[in-house]
Structure 1
Amino acid sequence: MASSSSSSSSITSFVFPFLFLFLLLSPSSNADSLKACNFDGIYQLGDSISDTGNLIRENPNTPFSHLPYGQTFFNSTPTGRCSNGLLIIDYFALDARLPLVNPYLNKDALTRHGINFAVAGSTALSSELLSKKKISSLLTNSSLDLQLDWMFSHFNSICYDQKDCDEKLKNALFLVGEIGANDYNYALLQGKTIEEVKEMVPEVVQAIKNAVERVISYGATRVVVSGNFPIGCFPISLTVFQTNNTTDYDEYDEYHCLKSLNALASYHNDQIKQVIEVLKKENLHTVIVYGDYYNAFLWILRRASMLGFDNGSLQKSCCGIGGDYNFDLKRTCGNNGVGVCPNPDKVISWDGVHLTQKAYKYIADWLILNISPKLNCTL
């Protein structure tokens, strides 16, 4: 048996690096911080923007399970995060002075400070509903309704009754989304027109509204409901839907983003904001806040050079190959022969679909400053 001094030394050597990273990555102390709420847990629903390891437990063969994913922060041990490092949810946890939130399907992980139910590739609508629209869910069938069932099962296992759950969850932060983008992306990639996809928006938004109502029924008192990114700015969209004239002002905006796809995202976001207002009136004792991913992303795009990003690579993938945007749908990041840029911190897009750790850090900072005052917490 090891001596107590050697055991203590081992524990210190294990804990110190994580403590150092915690201090290094946490935003500086100020009133506009999640720590003002004194949250004791975070519960996340969503897709690849938030997944910290559920998909790779469903499918260990996904590219997200190996390098170069996770190379910046996690070195040789990728966790299933769809980036080179940390995600928005990770920076939220750090800002709230909580441990990083473990994935639900990691049954060995600690769940005392919340659980992440998000699954990369998931949709707001069930795979059955999408199938009726002749749309295939490409990566997973763990849609929003299944994630909510997981959440219910978890709370059912830790709560004696509703009163006990209310007590346990009164100081937790619930994050619903971002989700819904995959419903639209899959539809577009499988040949649906913008107008056909636009007809899906009310149904997708209703599914998200139902999800918020369910988490409130479980005992949530503070909920952030996030909208979609400007998907017309991403390398995957710019590549797949590229026009013959890439300077056409009818098709592209001043940031060289596709207007039609950003209009679709804005339409979705406007409906999400309307739903939030309805939910607020129906749930007077619950704080519900909009997470504005769209404007957080545009804030980075407008100030890219000041934030240290390379203006020549703003809409190119760091991990990718070929074409105007360093992206090929048939040869994506993680596949043989697909390279990685020398400095991901200079690039916004990691793999054409997801962002780099640095971009997520700035988006998280923007969101925290935006939502913290609305959560009605005090230091």
Structure 2
Amino acid sequence: MNKMRHFSFILLVLCSFITSLFANITTSTHQSVQTSLRNKGRSRITMQIEAIYQFGDSLSDTGNLVRETTRVKPAFARLPYGQTFFHRPTGRCSDGLLMVDYFEIKRKLENALVLMGEIGGNDYNLAFFQGKTLEQVYQLVPNVVQTIKYAVQEVIWLGATNIVVPGNFPIGCVPLYLVRFETNDKSKYDELQCLKDYNDFSKYHNELLIRAIQELQQEHPNVAIVYGDYYYALTWVIKHAPRLGFERGGSTKVCCAIGNNPYNYDLKKSCGSPGVPICEDPSKRISWDGIHMTQEGNKNVAIWLLKNSLPTLRTHFHP
């Protein structure tokens, strides 16, 4: 019981940090996002929500870490991060907007949407890059998923009624993993040239997460809880990269990086470090810094989610 109370306190503290996910987006910027989406030929999808509260890591942080830390500022607190859209760093781990920035919010509407994640990615990253084997990291998954389930239960207890729980991305398609675990064994790669073993790991996490969501939905029939399929969204974007306007090799080459390999990525030379260049047009590549996506990558993944995951929430929406 004490542990649950402590966890509730942590969530409340996190909520106090999330003053506004759109604090850095002015009205004109918001209109630009809408125009950007329309120019891609996509219909704009709106939900009856008045705010978004997102818990997650650097894939979703719109600047809270930079604003709250009193230590040495991270690389994404300075240019070239933020150069494409804001023309200045905002604390977002991209050249511009993130996926959550494309989830449009209208004022004076009835409900809040809670995005629980992506959660767990950093736990797995740390384990893999400390040298743990796939088999060892697989053993972490049930506990990670259980923690996500507890977190969802807590926000329900705090009053949330509309929740999206994102799954894990296909980490075998991320340049960080493609470089670190590169192999000459061609059988280890799938048709998208992603590492099959690490994508299978992501699938396992997502399978357990979907079961947990189903259990939560049965326990809370008056709450809308939807799985956000980040895995399929990103693989769809990679598969259709040329059609979406990405350049040849744009689904694998990193933009803000340097490296003597097909991914243009060196694990020891991160984006923002001296001598690390930026590609001529970030909108032509999916990966910004080897871990996080470019604004264009985020936009295309967000569009897929808006068309395929959030409409599922609409059918269960609780005003």
TM-score past 0.5 threshold: yes
Q: Which stretches in structure 1 are left out of the alignment for 5+ residues?
A: 1-13, 99-112, 114-168
Which of 98, 103, 120 does residue 180 from structure 1 map onto?
120
What corresponds to 2:90 in structure 1?
A: 79
| One-letter amino acid matched to 1:90 | D
The Cα shift of 1:16 comes to 6.6
Q: How far off is 1:32 after superposition?
A: 7.5
Q: Distance in 2 between matches of 1:54 and 1:189?
A: 25
CA displacement at 1:20 relative to structure 2: 4.1
The residue correspondences of 1:135-214 to structure 2 (distance < 5 A) are: 171-214=111-154
What is the Cα-based RMSD across aligned positions, in Å?
A: 2.4
Matched, 1:304 2:244: no
Partner of 2:276: 338
Q: Does 1:56 align with 2:66?
A: yes
Where does residue 22 of structure 2 map in the other structure? none
User: What is the CA–CA distance in structure 2 between the aligned matches of 1:259 and 1:38, rounded to whole Å?
Assistant: 39
Determine which of 188, 192, 213 is the counterpart of 1:255. 192
Indicate which of 47, 64, 67 corresponds to 2:57. 47
Conservation of the 8 A alpha-carbon contact between 1:232 and 1:257: yes
Inter-partner Cα distance in structure 1 for 2:235 and 2:42: 24
Tell whether 2:105 aligns with 1:96: yes
Summarize deviations over 1:229-257 as a string: whole Å, max 9, x none.
100111110111111x1xx3321111111
The answer on 1:266 being equivalent to 2:203 is yes
SS in 1 for 2:187: coil
SS of residue matched to 1:224: strand
In 1: Cα distance, 2:156 partner to 2:147 partner: 14
Q: Is the 8 A contact 2:38 2:44 kept in 1?
A: no
Letter of the 2:29 partner, please give it: F
Conserved? CA contact 1:170–1:221, under 8 Å: no
1:322 aligns with 2:262: no
SS of structure 2 residue aligned to 1:288: strand
Q: Which amino acid aligns with 1:46?
A: G
Q: Determine which structure has more spread, i.e. the larger CA radius of gyration.
A: 1
CA distance in 2, matches of 1:219, 1:232: 36
Render the CA deviation track for 1:23-69: whole Å, top value 9, x for unaligned.
Answer: 42355999872x2x320111000001100012212145200000000
CA distance in 2, matches of 1:221, 1:271: 22
Identical counterparts, % of pairs: 49
**The 10-residue stretch of structure 1 (54-63 or 213-222) with the greater mean CA deviation from structure 2:** 54-63
2:82–2:92 contact (8 Å) kept in structure 1: yes
Whole-angstrom CA distance in 2 between matches of 1:23 and 1:85:
15
Matched AA of 1:357: Q
Deviation at 1:19, TM superposition (A): 5.6
Partners of 1:67 and 1:223 in 2: CA distance: 34
Structure-2 change in CA distance of 1:263 and 1:333 (3 Å): same
SS in 2 for 1:289: strand
Residue number in structure 2 paired with 1:132: none
**CA drift at 1:96:** 3.1
1:218 is matched with: 158
> Matched residues in 1 for 2:89 and 2:26: separation?
19
Q: Please give the secondary structure, in 2, of the residue aligned with 1:339.
A: coil
Q: Deviations over 1:201-244 (max 9, x none)?
A: 0000001000000010111110000001100111110111111x
Residue 349 of structure 1 aligns with which residue?
287
Q: Is the 8 A contact 1:230 1:294 kept in 2?
A: yes
Report the equivalent of 2:7: none
Structure 1 moving runs of 4+ over 4 Å? 26-32
The 1:16/1:48 distance shift into structure 2, 3 A limit, reads closer
Contact 1:32 1:369 in 2 (8 A): no
Amino acid of the residue matched to residue 83 of structure 2? Q
Instruction: Compute the displacement of 1:301 (Å).
Output: 1.1
Q: Deviations over 1:246-297 (max 9, x none)?
A: xx33211111111111011110011110100000000010000000000000
Counterpart position of 2:10: none
Query: Hey, what does 2:79 align to over in structure 1?
Result: 67
- What is the rounded CA distance, in whole Å, between the counterparts of 2:177 and 2:30 in structure 1? 39
